[in-house]
Amino acid sequence: MILVTGGAGFIGANFVLDWLDGVDEGVINVDKLTYAGNLGTLKSLHGDPSHIFVRGDICDRSTLDLLLARHQPRAIVHFAAESHVDRSIHGPSDFVQTNIVGTFTLLEAARFYWNALPADERDAFRFVNVSTDEVFGSLEQSDAPFSETSLYTPNSPFSATKASSDHLVRAWHHTYGLPTLTTHCSNNYGPYQFPEKLIPLMIINALANRQLPVYGDGQHVRDWLYVGDHCSAIRKVLAKGRPGESYNIGGCNEVKNIEVVHMLCDLLDDIRPKRKGSYRDQVTWVTERLGHDRRYAIDARKLGRELGWKPDETFESGLEKTVKWYLEHEQWADETTSDEFQDWLQINCQKRA
């Protein structure tokens, strides 16, 4: 078996669903089910004995020790995190707790478990730390994309806590020899993404005839990757990556925010036209995010060269799939957008009025 943390969130759940679809190996899925975790996403696995879901906190050492001892996984893939930059600006405390203390607790539990394994299982064991390109800070337009050796210059409370967690992972490899691998992926999009992030928020707001809030001048650049391609890259890193190494993951899809929003509006205009006008009419310019990183871009050539990975989706094909998915899963979105979520939209909106 493998143990996955955060497997009820956006990327973790996509990873678990893809894994169980393609591999004959079970998953223990530990997730705290914060506002971002959603068991509805894993509904199709109900009754499947190869998926064991445990509601648990990665800060809880005794739960982790128990699960490792009971299920003896051969690897850990660590997704669990507080992941939204705007929330980290509003309230950084949970980010410090989960992203730093949680990763520390998981590393310690993994180290004690791994130390006690027989030699061949120790050699084969892997700890994959799913990190982000945001730890490298912000690029100017003329800068080369981030490589694996780019300096860590995190700018938001979110990216600072992810950077801290990466440093802990690195130290646990260097000091104790724990076979860790770290991945740095660019912005993901696709099915089951919680609608606080740019792409699903715009789709859901567009359909509900709400404003499409674009921060600042809308010229900020993100390098978008379809979530299924991120998951296939993580499987490659788990299977063939060299312990102690880090791998960048990205799809070479640098797009300005306003262009992303316009592309979404145009897709919706085609697939589900409004009675009158275009979804573009709902675009609203709102106050800038504090400390807003201008540009992210990823150089993923190492992953291609060393592990033979390449993405399947272009930004156009992935975005069309995503829009269609949200149109076909409006109930999922309704169930996800709880009262807590409506409160958050209200808070975020008031800050930007």
Interface of this chain with ligand NAD, residues 137 to 196, rule: CB under 6 A: 162, 185, 187-188, 194
Q: Output the DSSP codes for 261-289.
A: HHHHHHHHHHHS--SSS-GGGGEEEEPPP
What length is written for the chain?
353
The reply to whether 68 sits near ligand NAD by the rule CB under 6 A is no
Residue 75 near residue 3, CB atoms below 8 Å = yes
Q: Which does 85 bind (CB under 5 to 8 A by kind): ligand NAD, ligand TYD, none?
A: ligand TYD
Name the nearest CA neighbour of 64 among 50, 51, 78. 78
One-letter amino acid for residue 69 of the chain:
A
Contacting residue, 42, 64, 89, 102, with ligand NAD by CB under 6 A: 102
Phi, psi of 29 (to 5 degrees): -115, 110
**CB of residue 118 to ligand NAD, shortest distance in Å:** 29
- The encoded tokens of residue 245 equal 């190494």
Contacting residue, 42, 68, 85, 130, with ligand NAD by CB under 6 A: 130
Interface of this chain with ligand NAD, residues 306 to 325, rule: CB under 6 A: none
Task: Tell whether the torsion through CA atoms of 330, 336, 340 and 346 is positive or negative.
Answer: negative
Residue nearest to ligand NAD (CB): 9
Identify which range of 172-180, 197-205, 298-306, 333-341 contacts ligand TYD by CB under 6 A. 197-205
Contacting residue, 103, 132, 138, 232, with ligand NAD by CB under 6 A: 132
Residue 325, Cβ density class (10 Å: 0-12 exposed, 13-18 middle, ≥19 buried): middle
Instruction: Enter the DSSP assignment of 234.
Output: H
Task: Tell whether the torsion through CA atoms of 96, 100, 103 and 106 is positive or negative.
Answer: negative
**CB of residue 14 to ligand NAD, shortest distance in Å:** 8
The reply to whether 53 sits near ligand NAD by the rule CB under 6 A is no
Q: Which residues bind ligand TYD (CB under 6 A)?
A: 85, 187, 197-198, 201, 213-215, 220, 222, 257, 289
Q: Which residues bind ligand NAD (CB under 6 A)?
A: 5-6, 8-12, 30-34, 36-37, 57-59, 79-83, 98, 102, 130, 132, 162, 185, 187-188, 194
